[in-house]
Structure 1
Amino acid sequence: MAELTTATAPEEPAAAPTDEAPAAVTPETVALRKVQGVLAKPAVVKTAQAMSLFGEHAGGWLAIGAVGALVDRKRRGEWLTAAAGVAAAHAASIAVKRVVRRRRPADPEVQVLVGTPSKLSFPSSHATSTTAAAVLYGGLTGKKLTPVLVPPMMVSRLVLGVHYPSDVVAGSALGGAVAWGVRRFMRRRRNRG
């Protein structure tokens, strides 16, 4: 009697072992995917990339503080103190990043649309320095800059795929805290002199 055999599909090769397990898809990753899906259009990405360049190492905000010090000679010291506050906020964000060591988003569905100086994500230094600048320079100009400057910078970091939502929220909170301390210092100094 002839033996019946059934054809079977060839076995798939086993995946090569990796050092890292695939990252779990968290609610923050899902939110990041959605932000990019809705907002990452060419014009928005180009604007976000320009904002990223402006905010890199707080450079744009520090330049504005220097211009303020040059133009507003009567309050030169306050402008320089405010710019120092922006620099301090940026430095604080770098220090926190080095302690927390959270990696930037690495989800295959999230596009990274700009280069970054480090692979560390928490908190967003752009959100930190932007919030500090908005609060401190807003106090000097008498304008409410925070609602105009901070949300676009926070969203831009998500559009570019380099931060999670909690990174930008924490960065903004840190920048606000540093700015609050600097404003308090400036008020005390003003009242003494």
Structure 2
Amino acid sequence: MAELTTATGPEEAVAASADEAPATVTPETVALRKVQGALAKPAVVKTARAMSLFGEHAGGWLAIGAVGALVDRRRRGEWLTAAAGVAAAHAASIAVKRVVRRRRPSDPEVQVLVGTPSKLSFPSSHATSTTAAAVLYGGLTGKKLTPALVPPMMVSRLVLGVHYPSDVVAGSALGGAVAWGVRRFMKRRRNRG
């Protein structure tokens, strides 16, 4: 406020107060605050952290693909192709992050409740690889995994304060697009076979 008392004219006073104004709060920041306020209870945060660890670098999903390939010998190649699709989806999300370069949430009212390997936010790699895994592994198991796996992972990233809503939506869309391409490839191979 010292700058305001030294300003000599109305234009200078307005400029000084504008310099001190807080950063603009976007609707996504408000949404993130609300999700954390409603859901960031100890048990939920503990679960979200476990999900974060499982999904880090798509590691848990890749391990499931490897187990599928070991157990289901008849479709080993399909499991390995699906796991490669999950890896490709994760790599695509990293590539997009490096182009977009959106920073993770830094609002003082948003708690960051888990560590992250980078400061980049868009898209969510966890949402990307989870969606790809749900679509690809669901196709192999004959189960609809997407509704059970994707929304909880998306919400967990918001609860932990490391993504905006558009990050998880875009990540899920990217994962779905990659999985769709991989499923088409797998179907063509199967039909040739």
Q: Indicate the SS of the match to 1:14.
A: helix
Instruction: Determine which structure has the larger helix proportion and give its number.
Output: 2
Structure 2 CA distance, aligned partners of 1:3 and 1:27?
31
TM-score (norm 1): 0.90
Q: Indicate the SS of the match to 2:11.
A: coil
TM-score (norm 2): 0.90
Distance 1:181 1:2, change over 3 A: closer
Q: Write the deviation string for residues 62-93 of structure 1: whole angstroms up to 9, x where unpaired.
A: 00000000000000000000000000000000
Q: Write the deviation string for residues 30-51 of structure 1: whole angstroms up to 9, x where unpaired.
A: 0000000000000000000000
Q: Write the deviation string for residues 102-150 of structure 1: whole angstroms up to 9, x where unpaired.
A: 0000000000000000000000000000000000000000000000000
Structure 2 CA distance, aligned partners of 1:79 and 1:46?
30
In the TM superposition, residue 5 of structure 1 has moved relative to its aligned partner by 18
Give 5+ residue unaligned stretches, structure 2: none
Q: Indicate the SS of the match to 2:147.
A: helix
Q: For structure 1, which segment, 101-110 or 3-12, has the greater mean C-alpha deviation from structure 2 after superposition?
A: 3-12
Distance 1:7 1:41, change over 3 A: same
In the TM superposition, residue 12 of structure 1 has moved relative to its aligned partner by 17
Name the residue aligned to 1:93. Answer: 93
Structure 2 CA distance, aligned partners of 1:26 and 1:3?
27
Q: Write the deviation string for residues 2-59 of structure 1: whole angstroms up to 9, x where unpaired.
A: 9999999999999999999853100000000000000000000000000000000000
| Contact preservation (8 Å) 2:4, 2:13 | no
Aligned length, in residue pairs: 193
Structure 2 CA distance, aligned partners of 1:35 and 1:163?
11
Larger radius of gyration: 1
Structure 1 CA distance, aligned partners of 2:12 and 2:108?
23
Distance 1:185 1:57, change over 3 A: same
Distance 1:12 1:50, change over 3 A: farther
Structure 1 CA distance, aligned partners of 2:160 and 2:128?
17
Structure 1 CA distance, aligned partners of 2:29 and 2:5?
48
Identical positions, percent: 94
Q: For structure 1, which segment, 13-22 or 164-173, has the greater mean C-alpha deviation from structure 2 after superposition?
A: 13-22
Structure 1 CA distance, aligned partners of 2:40 and 2:24?
23
Give 5+ residue unaligned stretches, structure 1: none
Structure 2 CA distance, aligned partners of 1:126 and 1:81?
19
| Contact preservation (8 Å) 2:111, 2:161 | yes
| Contact preservation (8 Å) 2:4, 2:17 | no
